[in-house]
A and B are shown apart, each in its own frame.
Chain A
Amino acid sequence: MVKKVVTPLTNETVADLKAGDSVLLTGYIYTARDAAHKRMMALLDEGKKLPFDVNGATVFYVGPAPAKPGHVIGSAGPTTSGRMDTYAPRLMEKGLKGMIGKGKRSQDVKDAIVKNKAVYFAALGGAGALGAKCIKSARPVAYEDLGPEAIVELFVEDFPLIVVNDMYGHDAYVEGRAKYEVR
C-alpha cells in the first residue's frame, strides 16, 4: 500500500511511517547538498537564522540539472546522503523532520532520527528524468552562486519515495538485503 504524505511533516505523520513503506510525498521541500550544508552550519555557528524555516521541513539531497526552456526544472534525482551525515543531526536538533536522498546513513544519523522523531526517505537514484516530473515549481532560496548546489524550494506532487530509516530504528536497506542474501 502506498501512503500519501504531505509536508511540513508532523510527529503524527512520522509516527505512521515504517521502514520499507512506499510513499507519495506532496508539498514544499528544500534542496541542499554538500556546499549548502557547509554554509548552513556556519550560520548556526554564528547564531544566525537558516535560509528556510527548518521546523517540520524536509530537505532533498539533490543538485538538479538546468531546466530546458518550458520545463520547471532539469533532471532531479537524489545524491548520496552519506556525505551529509556530519551535518544532518544538527539540523534535526533544529526541527528538520525529513530527509530525501539515496544510500546508507551513519549510526549517528539513525540515532538522531529516533531521538528527534524524523524520517529518511530514498528517491530513485539515477532516475532524475522521472523525478523531475513530480516537481511542479522551483524557487531559488539561497546560495545561487553555488550553481547546482544552491538551496531551492520545490513543490512536489506525489513524489514516489521509500522509507529507509524510521523513528523506530528500523533500516529498510539492512532488512531488505537480509531477505535475499545467500552468501
Chain B
Amino acid sequence: MEHKVRQIDASLVTDEIERLCISANCNLPEHNLKMIEDAMAKEKSPLGRQILENLLKNHRIAREEQVPACQDTGLAVVFIEVGQEVHIINGSLEDAINEGVRRGYKNGYLRKSAVFDPVFDRKNSDDNTPAIIHTRIVDGDRIAITVAPKGGGAENMSALAMLTPAAGAEGIKRFVVDTVSKAGPNPCPPIVVGVGIGGTFDKVTLLAKKALTRTMGSHNPDPRYAAMEDELLEEINELGIGPQGFGGTTTALAVHIETYACHIASMPVAVNINCHVCPHESSVI
C-alpha cells in the first residue's frame, strides 16, 4: 500500500508558535470579555463591580495597543499534536517550538520569566525558553498547536491530592473548594479553575492544565461531570472571595473538569488555577 507522507517545514511550526505566543497574551477572545460583563451584571459588591469594569477596560487596551493584558506573560506551555503522517523537515520539532517562543517573546515585547536552574543560579534565560512542551502523536497529516502561557501567581496556588475511591464526588468537591478558598486573593480572582480527575500522579496534573485550554465556561460532555462543574462554580462563588479578593459573589468565572481512567486503588485530583486573563490560543497547520 502506498503511503502518503506530508512534509512540513520546521520553520512553519516556528512561525505559528511565534504568532500564537503574542496573540494569546494580547488578544483576549470577545467571549471571555462577555463572561466578565455577565459576571459584572450579577456581582453584588459595588467595589467588585468597579474592579470587573477595570479588568474589561484593561483587556480592551491590551487588544487595541497589542500589549499583553498582564505583565506576567508566563512560561510558554505548548500542547502539540502531530499527525503520524507528518514528516517534519529542516529541523527538530523541539528546536522549532523553542525558536518560536524565543521570537514571540522578543518581537511581542513579552516578559521573559524563565530561569534555567530552579534552585541555585535562578538565572533568567532572557528569551523565555525552554517552553513546557506536551507532544502527542495522533492520526492524520496535520499539526495542531495550542499555546497556553502560564503565569506564576495562579500556578503557585494549584494543588494535587491522591484521594481514595471512597472519597467519591464529595471528596473531590471538598478538595477543589478548599484549594480555591486557601488561595483567596492571590491568583487574581475572578479565576478559571481547571480540574483533573483520574489517571496517575503525573497524568492528573496534565488533565487539569488541559482543562484550562477549553473555551471559557464550556462543559464536560459527560452530564455528570458537567453538573459537577456547575455545582463547584456555585460553591466557589459562595466563598465570598470576590473580584481581586476584596469580597463579592464572583470568585470564579468557570470550572472545567477533564477526566481519565485510573487505578482500582486511586482517585487522583488536581486543581490548576488560572486568573481571569486565562490566555491560550490554538491553530492547525
Contact = CB atoms under 8 A, between A and B. Distances in A.
A133 B57 CA distance: 12
A74 B276 CA distance: 19
A38 to B, nearest CB: 9
Contact of A125 (B109, B124, B153, B242): B153
Q: Which of A66, A76, A162, A180 has its CB near the most chain B CB atoms (within 10 A)?
A: A180
B68 A128 contact: yes
A102 B241 CA distance: 14
Interface size class of B (residues with CB under 8 A): 35 or more
B83 interface: no
A131 B244 CA distance: 15
Contact of A65 (B71, B124, B185): B71
A177 B245 contact: yes
Nearest to A35: B122
A130 B51 CA distance: 12
A176 B245 contact: yes
Nearest to A82: B186
B72 A176 contact: no
B240 interface: yes
Contact of B186 (A35, A104, A177, A182): A104
Nearest to B236: A183
Interface string A1-43: 0000000000000000000101000000000000100000000
Contact of A148 (B51, B55, B113, B185): B113
B34 interface: no
Taking residues whose C-beta sits less than 8 angstroms from the other chain, chain A's interface range is: 35 or more
B153 A65 contact: no
A35 B72 CA distance: 16
Nearest to B247: A176
A65 B58 contact: no
B69 A128 contact: yes
A140 interface: no
B246 A176 contact: yes
Interface string B62-83: 1001111111110000000000
A129 B188 contact: no
B122 to A, nearest CB: 7
A68 B109 contact: yes
Contact of A126 (B44, B57, B275): B275
A62 interface: yes
A104 to B, nearest CB: 6
Contacts of B51: 124
Contact of B69 (A22, A64, A80, A127): A127
A126 B111 contact: no
Across the A-B interface, give the 6 residue pairs with the lowest CB-CB distance, nearest first: A176-B247, A181-B240, A125-B188, A180-B240, A127-B58, A103-B186
15 contacts: A20-B246, A65-B111, A74-B71, A77-B70, A102-B185, A124-B244, A126-B55, A126-B70, A128-B69, A148-B113, A173-B185, A173-B247, A177-B240, A178-B247, A180-B249
Interface of B: 44-45, 47, 51, 54-55, 57-59, 61-62, 65-73, 109-113, 122, 124, 126, 152-153, 156, 184-186, 188, 235, 238-242, 244-249, 275-277
Interface of A: 20, 22, 35, 62-68, 71, 74-77, 79-80, 82, 102-104, 122, 124-133, 146-149, 160, 162, 172-173, 175-183
